[in-house]
Structure 1
């Protein structure tokens, strides 16, 4: 599969060369005594342009390439990689992987994915949309984005810059079961961060938009204006007293809660018994009206794919139904360790969407909360994946009578993820798509907010 790879000027090598390198790797491995082998060969390029105060700060051109090989001698595994595509380097890399395998202990769970699970159809998911911008055009767009932020309010007094990022890549994955597949990808973004000042108070905030296709990005003006207005809104932030109240996670950060759940029900955490959700299959983990679906074939999806990192076909599935866990996230190795079957998640999850039957507009979520804390930014990494204990620095807004009252800072929100996931009592309709996990704002029934 090679969804329109005619735009070869974006890459260093013709796609056919990547395919041939993958075949060469498999051939070297077979001749070297490997009983099985898999190879991944990739090539990519990018442009990042940042302006600050109207002047160009950085222009970065990037070209990346690499190959990795995993060989199996029986159930002994070896892995090696290189960024050198010369025939000598390819042969040396395979030889290194074979040497590692010969000195490694056998693992009865090691091996390629089962052949019958590999993808046999490759739908065009629209994942490749090169953004044809010159450096000059990218500079002009970044300047326009920053200018929109600075013009949003006279209290925007400084800027950390605006960035235009353009990235394209493609890859080939092949293994000794006879599987070979690959396709091009694109990912572009616009971002802006500015500083607002009032009296002696300074506040910073940002906004960004990311998409496969540049035509799906938020406008330059909107990204800049949102960055400016969010910074202004934080001026005059106060401290609050310690309390226990409902907490509303704004959509851009609410997806982090899905991330903690995903990590807890992923193979490595489960077979190592380092998860707060051990043996959660078929058990109530979320509030009863929460559904989470995995949708790997969304057109232009940021985490869409026809097959995972092992070539296993991906399928739409229900991960959480009525709050009850229906499935884990497993690759072949972790599935074998657990006595289960791979879910096609080697390499990660594919477009997880959390929703409920009655998503609410953001203002309605505030009304439902009545009194509590809206969190707009999380700080630090105080999350214990084994116990579920959760404690993170935060900034946001205090809410009274369902309305924003004033910004707050220097606070910590704390709870336990088991109780937090069960305590989701509201889901927003304000979903923002920025990665593999998608949801609107999430209202948690009660958390501890530590202030002064």
Structure 2
């Protein structure tokens, strides 16, 4: 990392020498292996080594950016020269510039994010083959495989700017997944499962991934449509994050200053039920979305995003913050370990609370309008009556308005899915339109 930090400092120094008033530079590099198998055969083995330097220079309010994958001194100098040339010809934008110096991270905490695993082809192939083989032997109705995959990657990111900030950290990510096809009569269904972690020891075993993938796939056999109705809906934990993902987009600076958000001017207002709180914890040791600083060098910090239903903060880069005459929040590059509050209810108890309605386990399509909150997507899942799952459902459309959906969350289960940056259990919504046959 020392050599990389030196390269970043060199790029920043060259930018100043060439007339830039300010500059920022980042270098990222990732290396690892990805393996894909299908029906016991190895389909792909890819060794990856990707790296790049990105330099952005400012000449007052004029901005120019360039990048290079060649980290030699000559290539870095050429990239800086190109960025400076571009800045000379861009129109001034009064909101351009580095994030405020006083908000830079002053201490780079070691969050224990890097745990290299065995990246040999032999080990990766062994994991994928073991997963798929186990899955195909679990049930005669599993007739085909869409493949298993294993990936293991380690890398680093170093960022610096002319506020005399420079920081970096190492990180790793490993994953194993499997997709299966099951048949009953002349009908077939497909589903999958996966695991992801910073440490290979925290991954599910190949057998657990296989068994979960098989259970998901087999449970979809015999799927049918349901009559069109307005009923309560549960978003199961593994897709409930997508619901709150729309909240993330709606309170992000880019959509706010463009006035393309259904939560425009909602800071300090109620957007979720009073019992619901969302907290952000960027410094969880080993967390999948932990980071000591954001993509602009701003220190990340614990925040309450929504407090008892009330929106406490927007998510602002320095550019968006200047546009909105506010302070940046350290979210350049995304969110950091959101924790959605929950009640002590299992998914089965949520179904009992719902009574009759739809348990959604998959959504598809892009029918979300962030400007007005209109929501309409294809869905699959299970029909629930008297609190019990009756049969699988497919080819339905669920529709509502995100503002109402978020405000009318009835309950959140304790079955938290921690494979994402946003941790939530299953979410019970008061009512949505379900369109079937």
SS in 2 for 1:170: strand
Tell me, in whole angstroms, the C-alpha distance in 1 between the residues paired with 2:338 and 2:76.
37
Provide the residue aligned with 1:203 in structure 2. 189
Provide the residue aligned with 1:88 in structure 2. 74
Tell me, in whole angstroms, the C-alpha distance in 2 between the residues paired with 1:436 and 1:72.
32
Among residues 356, 359, 369, which one is paired with 2:354 in the alignment?
A: 369
Provide the residue aligned with 1:117 in structure 2. 103
Q: Offset at 1:44?
A: 1.3
Among residues 97, 104, 124, which one is paired with 2:90 in the alignment?
A: 104
TM-score scaled by length of structure 1? 0.95
Provide the residue aligned with 1:162 in structure 2. 148
Equivalent pair of 1:152/1:229 in contact (CA under 8 Å): no
Provide the residue aligned with 2:178 in structure 1. 192
Where do residues 227-306 of structure 1 align in structure 2 (5 Å cutoff)?
Answer: 227-306=213-292
Q: Offset at 1:152?
A: 2.2
1:171-210 deviation per Cα after TM superposition (whole angstroms, max 9, x unaligned): 2101111000001110111100000011101000000111
1:60-81 deviation per Cα after TM superposition (whole angstroms, max 9, x unaligned): 1111010000101111111111
Where do residues 302-341 of structure 1 align in structure 2 (5 Å cutoff)?
Answer: 302-341=288-327
Provide the residue aligned with 1:410 in structure 2. 395
Equivalent pair of 1:156/1:232 in contact (CA under 8 Å): yes
Q: Offset at 1:16?
A: 2.2
Tell me, in whole angstroms, the C-alpha distance in 1 between the residues paired with 2:265 and 2:204.
41
1:4-58 deviation per Cα after TM superposition (whole angstroms, max 9, x unaligned): xxxxxxxxxxx22211210111111011000100000122112011111111111
Tell me, in whole angstroms, the C-alpha distance in 2 between the residues paired with 1:134 and 1:79.
37
Tell me, in whole angstroms, the C-alpha distance in 2 between the residues paired with 1:28 and 1:37.
10
User: Where do 5+ consecutive residues of structure 2 fail to align?
Assistant: none
Instruction: Give the count of matched residue pairs.
Output: 437
Provide the residue aligned with 1:47 in structure 2. 33
1:329-356 deviation per Cα after TM superposition (whole angstroms, max 9, x unaligned): 0111101110100111111111111113
Tell me, in whole angstroms, the C-alpha distance in 2 between the residues paired with 1:315 and 1:278.
24
Provide the residue aligned with 1:351 in structure 2. 337
1:139-171 deviation per Cα after TM superposition (whole angstroms, max 9, x unaligned): 111111112211221110100111111111102
1:339-384 deviation per Cα after TM superposition (whole angstroms, max 9, x unaligned): 100111111111111113x231111111011100000011111101
Q: Offset at 1:431?
A: 0.6
Equivalent pair of 2:4/2:27 in contact (CA under 8 Å): yes
Equivalent pair of 1:243/1:450 in contact (CA under 8 Å): yes
TM-score scaled by length of structure 2? 0.99
Tell me, in whole angstroms, the C-alpha distance in 2 between the residues paired with 1:310 and 1:234.
45
Among residues 368, 374, 377, which one is paired with 1:383 in the alignment?
A: 368
Tell me, in whole angstroms, the C-alpha distance in 2 between the residues paired with 1:308 and 1:392.
32
Superposed structure 1 runs of 4+ greater than 6 Å apart: none
User: Where do 5+ consecutive residues of structure 1 fail to align?
Assistant: 1-14
Among residues 363, 379, 404, which one is paired with 1:419 in the alignment?
A: 404
Q: Offset at 1:386?
A: 0.5
Equivalent pair of 1:153/1:229 in contact (CA under 8 Å): no
2:214 is aligned with 1:224 = no
Tell me, in whole angstroms, the C-alpha distance in 2 between the residues paired with 1:73 and 1:359.
55
Provide the residue aligned with 1:73 in structure 2. 59
Tell me, in whole angstroms, the C-alpha distance in 2 between the residues paired with 1:422 and 1:172.
40
SS in 2 for 1:301: coil
Tell me, in whole angstroms, the C-alpha distance in 1 between the residues paired with 2:134 and 2:351.
28
